[in-house]
């Protein structure tokens, strides 16, 4: 019996690992364990996802919490090394691009444990994003690469990684979307927030470049307030953004605009329902660009670059320059012209995790 350990740390990791855990249940010759680093720790940012995704509680919880990038990454490494000694896995899986991803990859690879990166090869080209550094560093040292889109294959080829360890498998985040949609269709979140399907705009915003500076955050909130005079705006607020709104003294903008509804971060199923029923989405997230493309919902991404170019090339995503004029222009166009339509990218069919499990069991572990 071989032991495989998947790492989750922050909110965008949970939906990528849940289908992988399910897929391994078809192989009695392996035991699949989940380890949670505790990078995200609030109930709304973490626990809710385990329930919504039918994921068992992690076998190991490290509780590292927040800190500067160096502190958080270092804490994860120290605790993960202890966990590795205790759990003794034969194979490690990391997903995405958060600090836990690089911290656990670096630790596992140095301990000589074969490590696979799921969602490998994505590049925004913007080294000011901490996630870009995490992607580059993880991909440069891991042993196997599982890829969601053509650009990932191209980037890994360019970096000289061996073809026989790079696998184009599709997108496990979209596996979770397929799995949870029937429940999202039964969600009562719209009634609870007082929304009508296709008559509101869904907003998420948490990137340091958009929400850390008082001026940028204030301007963004003013634009949302203007938009809310035209269309209801619902904004589930990330803890980072919530803290900054309060500490920069910007709560007044929210209080004086009742159609700008700030709500707590939502669980996976409720958030899926909010996305699916929205008129369009305004975001700076990574994963939401992919989920909206899979759902066929137009998405305006307030960033100058994307590591997921397929969502713009064939999906419903559009990049928007993060300036007041850029965002205003994009909103005016979106409100006054037909929405961007798109196609679902190749292999985003709900079966990516099954492909990954088969490859790991047969090719990587040779079982
Ligand atoms: C992290 C990821 C980012 C991902 C995002 C999704 C990195 C470098 N960034 O960014 O790629 O898109 O998660 O959410 O790994 N906080 C809480 N409660 C929590 C979690 C965080 O209050 O459960 C607070 C922290 O104290 C901190 C802030 O939110 O002040 C940011 O958390 P952190 O994990 O450092 O990074 P994110 O901005 O969430």
Burial 237-251 (b: 16+ CB within 10 A, else e): bbbebbebbeebebe
Ligand 1 centroid to residue 40 C-alpha, Å: 6
Ligand 1, residue 98: give the atom nearest the CA. 15
Q: Would you call 311 exposed, middle or buried from its count of C-beta atoms within 10 A (0-12, 13-18, 19+)?
A: buried
pLDDT by position in tens, the chain (length 367): 999 999 999 999 999 999 999 999 999 999 999 999 999 999 999 999 999 999 999 999 999 999 999 999 999 999 999 999 999 999 999 999 999 999 999 999 999 999 999 999 999 999 999 999 999 999 999 999 999 999 999 999 999 999 999 999 999 999 999 999 999 999 999 999 999 999 999 999 999 999 999 999 999 999 999 999 999 999 999 999 999 999 999 999 999 999 999 999 999 999 999 999 999 999 999 999 999 999 999 999 999 999 999 999 999 999 999 999 999 999 999 999 988 999 999 999 999 999 999 999 999 999 9
> How far, in Å, is the centroid of ligand 1 from the Cα of 206?
8
Q: Which residues line ligand 1 (CB under 6 A)?
A: 10-12, 39-42, 45, 66, 97-99, 130-131, 206, 238-240, 286
Topology adopted by domain 2-171+348-364? Rossmann fold (3.40.50)
The CATH number fitting domain 186-336, selected from 3.40.50.2000, 3.50.50.60, 3.40.50.2300, 3.60.20.10: 3.40.50.2000
Largest CA distance in the chain: 62
Nearest protein CA to atom 9 of ligand 1, as residue: 98
Q: Please tell me the distance between residue 44's alpha carbon and the centre of ligand 1 in angstroms.
A: 12
Residue with CA nearest ligand 1 atom 2 = 98
- Under 8 Å between Cβ of 117 and 139: yes
Which atom of ligand 1 is least distant from the CA of 97?
Answer: 11
Tell me, in angstroms, the distance from the centre of ligand 1 to residue 68's CA.
11
Active site residues: 206
Beta strands in 193-334 (DSSP E): 200-203, 232-236, 260-263, 280-283, 299-301, 317-319
Question: DSSP readout, 76-92?
Answer: HHHHHHHHHHHH--SEE
Tell which atom from ligand 1 comes closest to the C-alpha of 100.
15
Same fold across 2-171+348-364 and 186-336? yes
Q: Please, are residues 234 and 261 in contact by the beta-carbon 8 Å criterion?
A: yes
Residue 157: its H or E element: helix 150-158
Domain chopping of the chain, boundaries: 2-171+348-364, 186-336
């Amino acid at each position: 019996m071989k032991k495989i350990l998947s790492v989750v740390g922050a909110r965008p990791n949970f939906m990528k690992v849940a289908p992988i855990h399910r897929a391994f249940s078809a192989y009695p010759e392996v035991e699949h364990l989940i380890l949670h680093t505790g990078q995200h720790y609030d109930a709304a940012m973490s626990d809710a996802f385990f329930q919504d995704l039918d994921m068992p509680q992690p076998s190991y919880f490290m509780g590292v919490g927040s800190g500067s990038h160096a502190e958080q990454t270092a804490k994860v490494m120290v605790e993960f090394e202890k966990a590795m000694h205790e759990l003794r896995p034969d194979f490690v899986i990391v997903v995405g691009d958060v600090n836990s991803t690089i911290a656990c990859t670096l630790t596992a690879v140095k301990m000589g444990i074969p490590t696979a990166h799921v969602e490998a090869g994505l590049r925004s080209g913007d080294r000011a994003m901490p996630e870009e550094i995490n992607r580059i560093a993880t991909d440069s040292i891991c042993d196997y690469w599982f890829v969601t889109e053509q650009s990932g294959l191209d980037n890994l080829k360019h970096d000289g990684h061996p073809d026989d360890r790079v696998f184009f498998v599709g997108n496990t985040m979209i596996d979770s979307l397929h799995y949870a949609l029937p429940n999202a269709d039964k969600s009562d979140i719209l009634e609870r927030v007082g929304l009508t399907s296709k008559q509101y705009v869904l907003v998420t915003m948490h990137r340091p470049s958009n929400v850390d500076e008082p001026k940028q955050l204030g301007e963004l909130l003013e634009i949302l307030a203007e938009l809310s005079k035209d269309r209801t705006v619902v904004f589930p607020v990330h803890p980072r953004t919530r803290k900054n709104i309060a500490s920069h003294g910007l709560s007044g903008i929210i209080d004086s605009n009742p159609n700008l509804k700030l709500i707590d971060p939502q669980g996976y199923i409720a958030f899926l329902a909010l996305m699916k029923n929205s008129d369009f989405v305004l975001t700076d997230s990574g994963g939401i660009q992919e989920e909206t493309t899979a759902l066929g919902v137009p998405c305006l991404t307030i960033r100058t670059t994307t590591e997921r170019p397929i969502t713009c090339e064939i999906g419903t995503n559009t990049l928007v320059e993060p300036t007041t004029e850029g965002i205003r222009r994009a909103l005016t166009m979106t409100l006054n012209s037909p929405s961007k339509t798109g196609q679902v990218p190749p292999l985003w069919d709900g079966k990516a995790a099954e492909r990954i499990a088969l490859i790991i069991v047969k090719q990587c572990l040779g079982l």
